[in-house]
Amino acid sequence: MIGSYVAVGDSFTEGVGDPGPDGAFVGWADRFAVLLADRRPEGDFNYTNLAVRGKLLDQIVEDQLPKARKLAPDLVSFCAGGNDIIRPGTDPDEVAERFELAVAQLTSAVGTVMVTTGFDTRGVPVLKHLRGKIATYNGHVRAIADRYGCPVLDLWSLKTVQDRRAWDDDRLHLSPEGHTRVALRAGQVLGLTVPADPDQPWPPLPPRGTFEVRRDDIHWAREYLVPWIGRRLRGESSGDHVAAKGTLSPDDIKMRIAQAV
């Protein structure tokens, strides 16, 4: 019975792509916190989301890990390194070494550390050429998890999020349904009975013609790819001046999810 949970990470864990009614993001970690809280007496669950979009592994270790260790929760979800891996010239072996040092810090201070693998990016236009690099990093993450006794939220094997409806319009972050499926899979990883099957097939989609695909690709490049490249060239991060969500009430999360539907 997990009574406290802290989420550590970047945009994926912050919940980018899953906006609430006020524009702030919900995301898989908040939805997962609700699943955990529902198994506790009312008011007997503490949840804090420290994740901030755009953060690199070392920034997460410096800014978020000390706070997570101080809170000493029953559970920490730790997803980091993805923004490092997609940068040109980074070595997944070296990133994994730093990731392991962080896992060692966490496991010495908290109850359980759940780590996550990266997604299979074969269908993501900007990232599909990094598929082998991500797979290498994933292998390290699983080996580290074995050494430290960490449950693994394996996103590579969650095949239903390879459907385009699982992704936001920017094609880099999950949609609300995608975040929901990850939250359900996280519950399964910890042995919870979840209210729906994250592997449930999507309804069939009508076929799209070449013109529609090309039109969508042009819109995506103009609205998302060009600004993303521009931030990279300027050395900016989407997380600059963004504060973590901090401590959240599961009841408030439920209300925001209901209002966003």
> Is 242:52 a contact under the CB 8 Å cutoff?
yes
Q: How far apart are CA 187 and CA 158, in angstroms?
A: 13
pLDDT in tens, 212-236: 878 888 887 888 777 777 777 777 7
Residue 251 has, within 13 A of its CA and on its CB side, a CA count of 6
Contacts for 148 with CB less than 8 Å, ≥ 6 apart: 103, 104, 107, 113
Distances (CA, A) of 21 to 26, 113, 157, 255, 260: 10, 31, 31, 9, 5
Task: Note the pLDDT tens digit of each residue in 46-83.
Answer: 999 999 999 999 999 999 999 999 999 999 999 999 99
pLDDT of residue 81: 96
Over its C-alpha atoms, the chain yields an Rg (Å, rounded) of 18
Alpha-carbon distance 119 to 129, whole Å?
Answer: 13
Which pLDDT belongs to residue 228?
A: 72
Per residue in 24-56, pLDDT (tens digit) is 899 999 999 999 999 999 889 999 999 999 999
